[in-house]
Structure 1
């Protein structure tokens, strides 16, 4: 079985970006999270496979164009837009395609054999990305949770996400030993004083990059699925204008962070880290368009991975 970075799809994709879009190999490396040497080898492999002719066969050129528009619109350093599968353009229908792209990005970054700290979010999307990641032995890599944990046992729980990464890479991992949502604002301060939590926060400050999902508010959200908030609390989110969760930080439709109500009870990633680290968000499903647009408007994202339908809808309403 071929590794995820050796597929014909990636040969065609990189060939299109280089020969049709006119991107340099260094620009492709930055956009896709690969080393420049890897991009060079992929370009050569595309030649050897006969993919590079007068034009590149089978590449969705509109996806590359959408990436370029997203980068320009939201000041991103990288963007990956994948075609929607023949399924409903919902989170469930497009998850596999987006998770594969996210796994390819993460695998490319993990090709670096130097010691590295990687921040990891939680939720269903990140869980599926980790499932799609092939095994790669990286004992010098440390994975750090970006948020507190869910109460419910699930593969999407931050603890399970970190555990799966350790299993696939033989690296090390640290999870927040605290819930994502606490009962009172005073409880949040208490947890943040715990040595284990402080250690995780300090490790996260050394992250080379951080990969997160985009949480939406409303039906099908992780707040609802994992019973993190009751009906009254979820209604409160709507009244205060919250449309998205970004690594445990609540965001309104204008891209502003909310600092009242339930936001004061969440153990998420510190704002200064969101702004100072390289943050890549992965998003699947049209139900997340409003949340994704808000997350992009924060100005905290450096990279974004999504589907054609989501990218189009975001740009149409930007």
Structure 2
């Protein structure tokens, strides 16, 4: 039925303006844009407040509304400030504790929010691999399009664990933020140092490494080298190779590179055959976002921060408290 000023009556007796054909959309507009209260909207639409609550929930479920919490909220907490001071970080985001929650997923969601806030037009974003990196890539969304973005894979490819392989993390990230995707067209580990040198001399890989070195943001996680670590289960190399690094003092892994408790590189046979960004190259990227947490990774995360490999950290409160002890 037509009403005054071109408005229309729809189900439940709700009267909508002519430019709206959905009561859920109209209620969401009044609440989030015009900032009316739920009671005011209920009176205006002639329905109960409970109906408006349901409308607003439906608006979120349908993707009509995207609620973003400014990451400054988490970075202004006392514990985040103490982390920044202790480890000379530019930014730290600490997520609260939740019982029976998926820590990797929650770290990924928090990392995605912080990364989205960091991105600027024209950025080249280097992406590592692993479960947490994948969770960031799967969770990220930009509040509005950002022009000229490039996402580049920073470590060689592997057929092991395809669910969070380097090429998958990179391609997923690029799709989520509508960026150009550059995958590294080489295996993570080659059979001999000579083959590595010959392969890296190929022009296509020379250009790809030029892109890697031009990254102004890099996203990476941290791995420990215990029996359940990702570097062991990924089957990139044999257990004896990792044991040798551990015997040499390694406590953590950053993008397939090993570090000791002070964050110093621990070199071995794999380094001469590994294809990907080096630790000294990682340190030269202007903004370096490390997303990692959990008690099993505490020593490796502390070593990463001591080595100065991260400018920004996303972690959980339990890990943060242990890092500050």
Q: In which range does the TM-score fall when normalised by the shorter chain?
A: 0.7 to 0.9
1:108 aligned residue (98, 101, 117): 117
2:94 aligned residue (39, 64, 81): 81
Aligned residues: 262
Structure 2: distance between partners of 1:272 and 1:3: 44
1:6 aligned residue (67, 80, 91): 67
Residues 129-168 of structure 1 mapped to structure 2, 5 A cutoff: 129-134=136-141, 137-138=145-146, 140-168=148-176
1:216-237 per-position Cα deviation (integer Å, ceiling 9, x unaligned): 2122222222211222222212
Aligned-pair distance for 1:139? 5.4
Aligned-pair distance for 1:256? 0.5
CA contact (8 A) 1:137 1:168 kept: no
2:272 is the counterpart of 1:264: yes
Aligned-pair distance for 1:138? 4.1
Structure 2: distance between partners of 1:162 and 1:263: 22
CA contact (8 A) 1:84 1:97 kept: no
1:255 aligned residue (249, 263, 275): 263
2:237 aligned residue (229, 252, 256): 229
CA contact (8 A) 1:116 1:140 kept: yes
Aligned-pair distance for 1:137? 4.2
Instruction: Work out which structure has the larger RCO, using CA pairs closer than 8 Å and 6 or more positions apart in sequence.
Output: 1
What value does the CA root-mean-square deviation take over the aligned residues? 2.4
Structure 1: distance between partners of 2:266 and 2:224: 14
Q: Could you tell me which residue of structure 1 aligns to residue 41 of structure 2?
A: none
1:2-44 per-position Cα deviation (integer Å, ceiling 9, x unaligned): 699734xx26x74687xxx6xxxxxxxxxxxxxxxxxxxxxxx
Structure 2: distance between partners of 1:248 and 1:148: 10
- Alignment CA distance shift 1:4-1:190 (3 Å): farther
What is the TM-score of this pair, normalised by structure 1? Answer: 0.75
Aligned-pair distance for 1:206? 2.0
- Alignment CA distance shift 1:230-1:270 (3 Å): closer
- Alignment CA distance shift 1:286-1:15 (3 Å): closer
Residues 37-76 of structure 1 mapped to structure 2, 5 A cutoff: 64-76=77-89
Larger CA Rg, structure 1 vs 2: 2
Mark the runs of 5 or more structure 2 residues left unpaired by the alignment: 1-59
Q: Could you tell me which residue of structure 2 aligns to residue 169 of structure 1?
A: 177
What is the TM-score of this pair, normalised by structure 2? Answer: 0.74
2:249 is the counterpart of 1:241: yes
CA contact (8 A) 2:140 2:177 kept: no
Structure 1: distance between partners of 2:66 and 2:156: 32
Residues 117-128 of structure 1 mapped to structure 2, 5 A cutoff: 117-128=124-135
- Alignment CA distance shift 1:225-1:65 (3 Å): same
Q: Could you tell me which residue of structure 2 aligns to residue 36 of structure 1?
A: none
1:178-226 per-position Cα deviation (integer Å, ceiling 9, x unaligned): 2222233333323322223222211122222111111221222222222
Mark the runs of 5 or more structure 1 residues left unpaired by the alignment: 22-63
